[in-house]
A and B are shown apart, each in its own frame.
Chain A
Amino acid sequence: MDEQNNVEMLEERVSPSLKKIVKEKEPLVTHQTDLLPKINVQNLNVYYHTTQALKQIEIQIKPQRVTALIGPSGCGKSTFLRTLNRMNDTISGARAEGTVMIDGVNIFAPNINVVALRRLVGMVFQKSNPFPKSIFDNVAYGLRVHGIKDSNNLQERVEESLIKSALWEEVKDRLHESAMALSGGQQQRLCIARALAVNPEIVLMDEPASALDPISTAKIEELIHVLKRDYTIVIVTHNMQQAARVSDWTAYFYMGSLVEYGETKKIFTAPDKKETEDYITGRFG
């Protein structure tokens, strides 16, 4: 296959929504064609002022799979997660070197529209953070920000997002009540609905169930399992069993370095590195 065909094939595979984040069209990378990773990270270094938080990270995150990031506190996993939608840009003194390609587009390129990037790469946080508005308005918020005003369209998208986040049946009769009245687990699923409403392709989750009871946790985990059919999910978790249950791939970080990355079933039965083994079996960390 010649170079020109490669470019055309790749362009076909890049989603229309991704193309929107590039302000001015630039030639796309052509070195990967088959089994294109959704996210391809090369030589990533991240610093907070003079402290290096991530060192030479290289990882290819698979599309429509759940990738768990594990490691002790301060290992860099949350920094890595926030790098994927440039949330670190909001932290004073934070800077990144290297490349993070999403569907072949470098998100650090100067022509990237960061707001559009964050719509494409949604995020769910450890603590649910609904706005002090109605359930409906919480989910519709992002849509309105992106210019959707038509009420039928809004209604449709809100319902679709609440169905996807497995919350619809519980709230369909009280959409205009305050989101603050929902339980912790429902609030977290509402935040997932809010992230899904703007049609992301990647969903980042930073310990999404760490503040929830076992039943709410199970619902979130089941939801993650269903959502991976449509989304690429990257999740940070301190709960080893949760990582084992929900993810297809696992990356173990330690002191800013990626120690091991592999299929979850391999990592949790026979990891290649002793450091990984010691961490997941609780002999260290």
Chain B
Amino acid sequence: MERHFHTELKELKQSAYQMGQQVQTALQKSLASLFDRNANLAQAVVDEDAILNQMEIEIDRKGHNLSALGQPVAQDLRLITSLLKINTDLERIGDHCVNIAERVLLIMEEPPLESKSDLPAMATLTAKMFSDALQSFSSEDPQTAQALLERDDEIDSLNDSLFFDFEELMEKKPEYVRVCMNLIMVAHNLERIADLTNNIAENIIYLKLGKEVRHHSES
């Protein structure tokens, strides 16, 4: 017979997964609004952030109640503490999606940038990392989570090269300064999303294996 506590814990995890899906939608919409220059999509991301904020509060409340009333230990304790951290990371990723959408609204006031950049590649990779993290969270699969940790360097390197590319472009074509500055900020937001996705992956490894991998920990 399953304990009532474990039923509620499963529901909490399901709520966090649903929040992850909502964040994934925000990420997809913000990136589509950037590459399609779609102001409606960008505005939708900004408006829908309130849903994520509400979800964060609700998950926190349920998690604290379960901790206080169920007095969890071992895997249950790891799941609750990890869920609460993942909840915060998801909400922060949602905020970065809003930041991207707000940049898109500013970029759309400027002429389109005609030169090519690595920004689409960086966006695709970030979106794939988040999607894999969400799948890994759903199935509590530490192998996929571990593989994610190794992809973060690629994002950092794309971010660095984008910065130099846009810097160079601004020097050559001052009329693009405003749009380049906004795109540098978009790249920065993507880099932060990838970092937070890594945090989620680290928490998935901890909740499943009880193994600490943060800050390259050995223990």
Given contact pairs A269-B210, A270-B210, A277 touches B5 in the complex (Cβ within 8 A): no
Q: Which chain A residues border B74 with CB–CB below 8 Å? A: 267-271, 276-277, 280-281
Q: Which chain B residues border A281 with CB–CB below 8 Å? A: 72-76
Question: Are B6 and A270 in contact, with the CB atoms below 8 A?
Answer: no
Task: List CB contacts (< 8 Å) of B68-103 with chain A.
Answer: 71-78
Tell me the complex Cα distance, A138–B75, Å: 46
Determine whether B216 belongs to the interface, using a CB cutoff of 8 Å to chain A: no
Closest Cβ of chain A to B99, distance in Å, is 36
Closest Cβ of chain B to A23, distance in Å, is 45
Q: Which chain A residues border B75 with CB–CB below 8 Å? A: 277, 281
Task: List CB contacts (< 8 Å) of B2-17 with chain A.
Answer: 3, 5-6
7 new A-B contacts, CB < 8 A, other than A283-B3, A283-B6, are A268-B74, A268-B77, A270-B74, A270-B78, A271-B74, A281-B72, A281-B73
Q: List 9 A-B contacts (CB under 8 A).
A: A244-B73, A268-B74, A268-B77, A269-B73, A269-B77, A270-B211, A277-B75, A281-B74, A283-B3
Chain B interface (Cβ < 8 Å from any Cβ of A): 3, 5-6, 71-78, 209-211
A-B contacts, CB under 8 A, total: 34
Q: Which chain B residues border A244 with CB–CB below 8 Å? A: 73
Closest Cβ of chain A to B203, distance in Å, is 14
Tell me the complex Cα distance, A268–B72, Å: 9
Closest Cβ of chain B to A237, distance in Å, is 14
Q: Which chain B residues border A282 with CB–CB below 8 Å? A: 3, 5-6
Q: Which 7 A-B pairs have the closest CB atoms?
A: A270-B210, A268-B73, A277-B74, A281-B76, A280-B73, A281-B74, A241-B71
Closest Cβ of chain A to B13, distance in Å, is 15
Closest Cβ of chain A to B194, distance in Å, is 27
Question: Are A269 and B71 in contact, with the CB atoms below 8 A?
Answer: no
Determine whether A240 belongs to the interface, using a CB cutoff of 8 Å to chain B: yes
Tell me the complex Cα distance, A271–B210, Å: 8
Q: Which chain A residues border B211 with CB–CB below 8 Å? A: 270
Tell me the complex Cα distance, A283–B77, Å: 14
Closest Cβ of chain B to A254, distance in Å, is 16
Tell me the complex Cα distance, A269–B6, Å: 17
Q: Which chain A residues border B5 with CB–CB below 8 Å? A: 282
Task: List CB contacts (< 8 Å) of A211-244 with chain B.
Answer: 240-241, 244
The chain A residue sitting closest to B2, CB to CB, is A283
Tell me the complex Cα distance, A267–B75, Å: 11
Q: Which chain A residues border B6 with CB–CB below 8 Å? A: 282-283
Q: Which chain B residues border A271 with CB–CB below 8 Å? A: 74
Q: Which chain B residues border A283 with CB–CB below 8 Å? A: 3, 6
Tell me the complex Cα distance, A244–B75, Å: 15
Tell me the complex Cα distance, A281–B66, Å: 13
Tell me the complex Cα distance, A240–B75, Å: 15
Closest Cβ of chain A to B198, distance in Å, is 21
Q: Which chain A residues border B73 with CB–CB below 8 Å? A: 240, 244, 268-269, 280-281
Q: Which chain A residues border B72 with CB–CB below 8 Å? A: 281
Which of A241, A270, A271, A277 has the most C-beta atoms of chain B within 10 angstroms of its own C-beta? A270
Closest Cβ of chain A to B202, distance in Å, is 15
Closest Cβ of chain A to B108, distance in Å, is 50
Q: Which chain A residues border B77 with CB–CB below 8 Å? A: 268-269
Tell me the complex Cα distance, A276–B73, Å: 11
Tell me the complex Cα distance, A145–B176, Å: 97
Tell me the complex Cα distance, A277–B5, Å: 15
Closest Cβ of chain A to B206, distance in Å, is 9
Which of A267, A280, A281, A283 has the most C-beta atoms of chain B within 10 angstroms of its own C-beta? A281
Closest Cβ of chain A to B69, distance in Å, is 12
Given contact pairs A240-B73, A281-B73, A269 touches B3 in the complex (Cβ within 8 A): no
The chain B residue sitting closest to A277, CB to CB, is B74
Closest Cβ of chain A to B29, distance in Å, is 38
The chain A residue sitting closest to B72, CB to CB, is A281
The chain B residue sitting closest to A243, CB to CB, is B73
Q: Which chain B residues border A268 with CB–CB below 8 Å? A: 73-74, 77
The chain A residue sitting closest to B3, CB to CB, is A282
Chain A, residues 250-281, CB within 8 Å of chain B (1/0): the string is 00000000000000000111110000110011
